[in-house]
Structure 1
């Protein structure tokens, strides 16, 4: 009995595990006679209606694409059999392979040249000409863009160079003023020891060519500016008074204010005279001018233009060097 119950239980388990649930198919209503007539009439109308040009063109395009996608290397084709007899294998290129094919790119065709359908009314070669012109225009545009980039880079480089030159030029004028000041201090110290010297004549009346060529341009430019300023002042004053009138009550300062030269301070400078030495110095590059001025300051007065300091001896102990970079 026990065995029978166990057998029945295993049978129930098998039946439970092997149960299948069938999906209930949705009930489909039978087509009525009227519906069938309408469907047949609609299908007949669709079949009988002529296709439009657009539909015909689309159908032709699809058929053409399908035909072009089919391979022409049919093993049953007579031409393929002839090529196979000559040693052709599917997937290989036609022609004899070059000996240097491993080194150079093999440009032989693996497939026949594809057929390109014309969809325009242009003549033979017109599309190729359009492509050529378009390619040339793109190349020309690329050249223009490349040139613009190069010009932009050159412009930035030129601007940076101009800024650097202006900076160095300002340093040159500064070094000239330092040289002039140190020399004036030296001459003033020498004149102060001479008790017999006339105080009214202590100011130097050195001619232009007697000034060191390193800062002669500074002195000349200042003299030109003074002359132009006096000429403008004289032109204005000529409208209200005669320049030849000399008032004995006017002192030296009054005469200078009116644009008149005091005989005791008249400077012997010929600004229009040729100065080959100055012209030669002016042709030097700006960095070279600055280097000469810095070297002269160090040699004569033991003065470092970058330290802005004067040293007691030529050793100039504590000065980093000759250039601005060494003082950074």
Structure 2
């Protein structure tokens, strides 16, 4: 019995030592957290790769369209340049026209003056619009140009109207002022005698009252005589000094 107990005690001690030994090893294991760090580094790479892949596909699609449009524009420019250039006399079609009686610089037909002198213009159409319709880009440019011209015209008309209105206001003000002056002069001529102020020497200092000159020409008198029946509604204004005689 004692042997069995001693054997069991030794086994327990060995188990405890084994547990302690494994516990000590767990302290020294530092390479394990570095292993899961590798997939962590790879994860963002996969994300970046996945994010870069669609970005690579998109510009390919866009650049393909841009390249196609650029090629079409270049082809159109070449064809238009070739059309604008004169046809050489070595051309077969030009030789046939000469054989049929065409002379360069003259119109088609027997007389040469009534026929067409220039070739029919060529219009390149890349869109699916009808024959009577223009290119959408050209139509947009025309609309914008028309709007700009319309805005300029409206601004010019508004400026002209403003100037005319300002002139009319100024003229109406002048008419009112002249009317007041004429009315005051008419009242003075009809009912009252002009006040003659005594002459003052140059050395004498002027008083507080301002000197007012009354100038009434013969034309003004004749004009005022026609309107002598006007009622005295408006008061006198500057330019004529009226003294009420009691």
TM-score of the superposed pair, with normalisation by structure 1: 0.32
TM-score of the superposed pair, with normalisation by structure 2: 0.40
